[in-house]
């Protein structure tokens, strides 16, 4: 089935996104040994291409099978020792989960929890950095539950000035491939992501990039001690085994990474900004309210919108689906029933001829009208 299949409802949620036909075809690669010459070259090249996505020359990519959540386990088990302090910047649901993961491995979490739709301020971060020595600070670049975008460049700069030993860790699950991330230039120590969002590959790959590791490891599958020799071997175009890699997913990743890096990344970021503006302008024209406190802190790969009263999820989501578009409900625990989310990442943005976003907006407008919402329609 291709993403243009007639019976397919467009998946316009903030991940998984719509996948390119060539990526889906790569998923159907016939069974191939993970130490065959063909696969070794595909895996090795994918590791190299990942560096380009986050502008790093020296970072070590890790490509491991698992969803984004495995990225948190990798961070917590490889970087955090029991009782070490970690500062978690919380701009929504995913800050709560990252904290819970770090605590699972014995880390002591201090959170700066922003009000819903907001992000921790530089002043708050600066104040708290004065109180103790943090092993690491984690930032959810885009919290997918609120659509709030954090300024990782500014935060990294502040941390490097005030607490240079603190590792800057970015959860880029909803931002890598959409938002600009310059790992080396901005001094980011680790950026983690997952395959199913802007990298445009079916779910199942945690992709980890790091340049520094000191702590003993408290996991087996997630241990970089086990994975580093594997990454080094494949990059040197040699096969090596620790645990079987997801061969077909890596073929798909390779296809997507080649597509993404075939145009300057700056162009890709601009396309996402432009399409995000189109969606957000339309939402505002319709008189609907967005979750992020202001447009300058709103993500470019998704839009979170409050239902106009008296409409609810049970009204709007099935109605939009009946118009062949799938959008997502709310996720932030405190207000989950009050808003919906539209994803605009990957080919839906970079290949405008597909008209995914026009179709989404049109389905939204028709659905609102059918449900009796007439303001500004
Ligand atoms: C910002 C962020 N971090 C982490 C995750 C967890 O990733 P996964 O659901 O792939 O395990 C998600 C999932 O949507 C996310 O949006």
pLDDT tens, position by position, 299-346: 999 999 999 999 999 999 999 999 999 999 999 999 999 999 999 999
Pairing of strands 60-65, 325-326: unpaired
Percent of the chain at pLDDT exceeding 70: 96
Reported residue count of the chain is: 377
Among 91, 99, 141, 144, the mutation site with the greatest number of ligand 1 atoms within 8 A of its Cβ is: 144
Specify binding-site residues for substrate: 341
Nearest-CA residue for ligand 1 atom 9 is 68
Cis peptide before 310 (omega within 30 of 0): yes
What is the three-class DSSP state of 259?
A: helix
Query: Which ligand 1 atom is at minimum distance from the Cα of 141?
Result: 1
Nearest-CA residue for ligand 1 atom 8 is 68
345 CA → ligand 1 middle, Å:
15
Note the pLDDT of residue 61.
94
Measured between alpha carbons, how far is 320 from 16 in angstroms, rounded to an integer? Answer: 18
Measured between alpha carbons, how far is 375 from 299 in angstroms, rounded to an integer? Answer: 26
Mean pLDDT of the chain: 95
Measured between alpha carbons, how far is 26 from 89 in angstroms, rounded to an integer? Answer: 37
Specify binding-site residues: 341
Is 356 a residue whose pLDDT tops 70? yes
222 CA → ligand 1 middle, Å:
17
Nearest-CA residue for ligand 1 atom 16 is 144
372 CA → ligand 1 middle, Å:
34
- The closest alpha carbon to 172, from 160, 157, 189, 154, belongs to 189
Residues 285 and 305: beta-carbon distance below 8 Å:
no
Exposure of 43 in the CB half-sphere (CA atoms within 13 A): 32
Name the least confident of 199-213, 267-281, 295-309: 199-213
69 CA → ligand 1 middle, Å:
6
Cis peptide before 85 (omega within 30 of 0): no
Note the pLDDT of residue 209.
62
Q: How far is CA 199 from CA 207, 255, 288, 299, 310, in A?
A: 10, 10, 30, 16, 37
Chosen CATH of 21-261 out of 3.40.50.720, 1.10.150.120, 3.90.1150.10, 3.40.640.10: 3.40.640.10
Is 147 a residue whose pLDDT tops 80? yes
Query: 85-116: string of b/e by CB count within 10 Å (b at 16+)?
Result: bbbbbbbbbbbbbbbebbeebebebebbbbeb
Residue 21: band (very low, low, confident or very high) from pLDDT cuts 50, 70, 90: very high
Note the pLDDT of residue 1.
41
Model confidence over 76-124: pLDDT tens digits?
999 998 999 999 999 999 999 999 999 999 999 999 999 999 999 999 9
DSSP letter assigned to residue 16: S
**The domain at 10-19+264-370 falls in which architecture?**
Alpha-Beta Complex (3.90)
Percent of the chain at pLDDT exceeding 90: 90
Note the pLDDT of residue 363.
98
Residues 118 and 148: beta-carbon distance below 8 Å:
yes
Q: Which residues line ligand 1 (CB under 6 A)?
A: 15, 67-69, 94, 140, 143-144, 171, 173-174, 194, 203
Mean pLDDT value across residues 38-56? 97
Mean pLDDT value across residues 225-243? 96
> Domain spans of the chain?
10-19+264-370, 21-261
Is 361 a residue whose pLDDT tops 50? yes
Query: Which ligand 1 atom is at minimum distance from the Cα of 203?
Result: 10
Among 14, 67, 68, 96, the mutation site with the greatest number of ligand 1 atoms within 8 A of its Cβ is: 68
Nearest-CA residue for ligand 1 atom 3 is 173
Residues 301 and 14: beta-carbon distance below 8 Å:
yes
Element (H, E) at 365: helix 356-370
Paired strand residues for 64: 206
């Amino acid at each position: 089935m291709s993403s243009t299949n007639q019976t397919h409802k467009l998946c316009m949620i903030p991940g998984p996104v719509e996948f390119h036909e060539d990526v889906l075809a790569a998923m159907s690669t016939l069974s191939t040994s993970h130490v065959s010459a063909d696969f070794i070259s595909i895996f090795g090249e994918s590791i190299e291409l990942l560096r380009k996505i986050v502008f790093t020359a020296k970072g070590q990519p890790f490509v491991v099978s698992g969803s984004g959540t495995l990225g948190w386990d990798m961070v917590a088990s490889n970087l955090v020792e029991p009782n070490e302090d970690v500062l978690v910047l919380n701009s929504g649901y995913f800050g709560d989960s990252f904290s819970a993961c770090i605590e699972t491995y014995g880390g002591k979490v201090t959170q700066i929890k922003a009000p819903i739709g907001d992000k921790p301020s530089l002043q708050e971060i600066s104040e708290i950095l004065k109180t103790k020595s943090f092993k690491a600070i984690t930032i959810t670049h885009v919290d997918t539950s609120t659509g709030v975008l954090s300024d990782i460049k500014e935060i990294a700069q502040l941390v490097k000035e005030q607490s240079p030993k603190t590792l800057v860790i970015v959860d880029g699950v909803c931002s890598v491939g959409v938002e600009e991330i310059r790992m080396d230039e901005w001094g980011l120590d680790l950026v983690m992501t997952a395959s199913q969002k802007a990298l445009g590959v079916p779910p199942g790959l945690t992709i980890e990039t790091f340049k520094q590791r000191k702590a003993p490891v408290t996991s087996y599958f997630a241990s970089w001690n086990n994975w580093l020799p594997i990454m080094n071997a494949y990059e040197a175009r040699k096969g090596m085994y620790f645990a079987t890699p997801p061969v077909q997913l890596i073929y798909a990743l390779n296809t997507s990474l080649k597509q993404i890096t075939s145009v300057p990344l700056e162009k890709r970021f601009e396309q996402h900004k432009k399409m995000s503006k189109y969606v957000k302008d339309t939402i505002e024209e319709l008189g609907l309210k967005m979750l992020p406190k202001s447009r300058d802190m709103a993500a470019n790969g998704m839009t979170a919108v409050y239902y106009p009263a008296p409409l609810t999820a049970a009204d709007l989501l099935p109605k939009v689906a009946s118009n062949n578009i799938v959008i997502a409900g709310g996720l932030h625990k405190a207000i989950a029933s009050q808003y919906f989310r539209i994803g605009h990442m990957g080919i839906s943005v970079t290949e405008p001829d597909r008209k995914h976003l026009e179709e989404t907006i049109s389905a939204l407008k028709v659905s609102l009208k059918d449900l009796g919402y007439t303001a500004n329609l």
